[in-house]
Amino acid sequence: MPDGQEMGFPRCPLSFPRDALAWKGDRVQIRKGILWAIVLGLIFGVARSVPAGSRLSDVTVEHARELIQARSGKSDFMILDVRTPKEFAEGHLSGAVNVNALGPDFEAQLSKLDRARTYLVYCRMGNRSARAIQVMSRMGFRSVYHMFEGIMGWYKRALPLSRSL
């Protein structure tokens, strides 16, 4: 039986030439099937984990700065720093509100926030904030921007930090 290439169909980038399959037999086909199942599972699993109507976006420090400049002071926008209070006191984005992602009352603190607002969320390096935005999504927050480089990315660009509490 001719393969798809001989019939005029483009070859799938993950497919192997027939002669490469000959010596391994069905094991390669099974592995490819498992790989596709994993890929599709991840795609549909991630899509299902974000509620309909949610908008979660990873943003660079530069985009975060533009968001802050455009939306700062507006009632529908909040900067959320999810580091510890000690880290927050060492320097944070101006206007940020501190909600400790490691605190035992993290979800209770989030539940007090308006889910219809737009949030810019960050931590030190992007790890805690990545987990925080997943929790926020699960809780029904609709518009969340994640500054994935964290405050360290902001600091590396020598952008201003606030020390006021």
Residue-wise pLDDT for 93-102, tens only, equals: 999 999 999 9
Question: Is it the case that residue 33 has pLDDT exceeding 70?
Answer: no
Q: What is the C-alpha separation between 163 and 160, in angstroms, rounded?
A: 10
Higher pLDDT, 86 or 13: 86
Residue 25, phi-psi category: left (phi > 0), alpha (psi -120 to 50), beta (remainder) = left
> What are the residue ranges spanned by the domains of the chain?
18-49, 55-156
Two structure tokens written together for 132 = 């925080």
Q: What percent of the chain has pLDDT over 70?
A: 67
pLDDT digits (tens, 9 = 90+) for 111-164: 999 999 999 999 999 999 999 999 999 999 999 999 999 999 999 999 999 998
Q: What is the C-alpha separation between 164 and 126, in angstroms, rounded?
A: 22
Question: Is it the case that residue 44 has pLDDT exceeding 70?
Answer: no
Higher pLDDT, 108 or 16: 108
By C-alpha distance, which of 78, 75, 116 is closest to 98? 78
Question: Is it the case that residue 55 has pLDDT exceeding 90?
Answer: no
Is 148:108 a contact under the CB 8 Å cutoff?
no
Two structure tokens written together for 19 = 């002669």
Mean pLDDT of 77-98: 97
Q: What pLDDT is stored for residue 165 in this prediction?
A: 73
Question: Is it the case that residue 49 has pLDDT exceeding 50?
Answer: no
Residue written as tokens 């926020």?
136
Q: What is the C-alpha separation between 110 and 132, in angstroms, rounded?
A: 10
Q: What pLDDT is stored for residue 98 in this prediction?
A: 98
**Mean residue pLDDT across the chain:** 81
Q: What is the C-alpha separation between 86 and 125, in angstroms, rounded?
A: 16
> What CATH topology corresponds to 55-156?
Oxidized Rhodanese; domain 1 (3.40.250)
Total-model pTM: 0.68
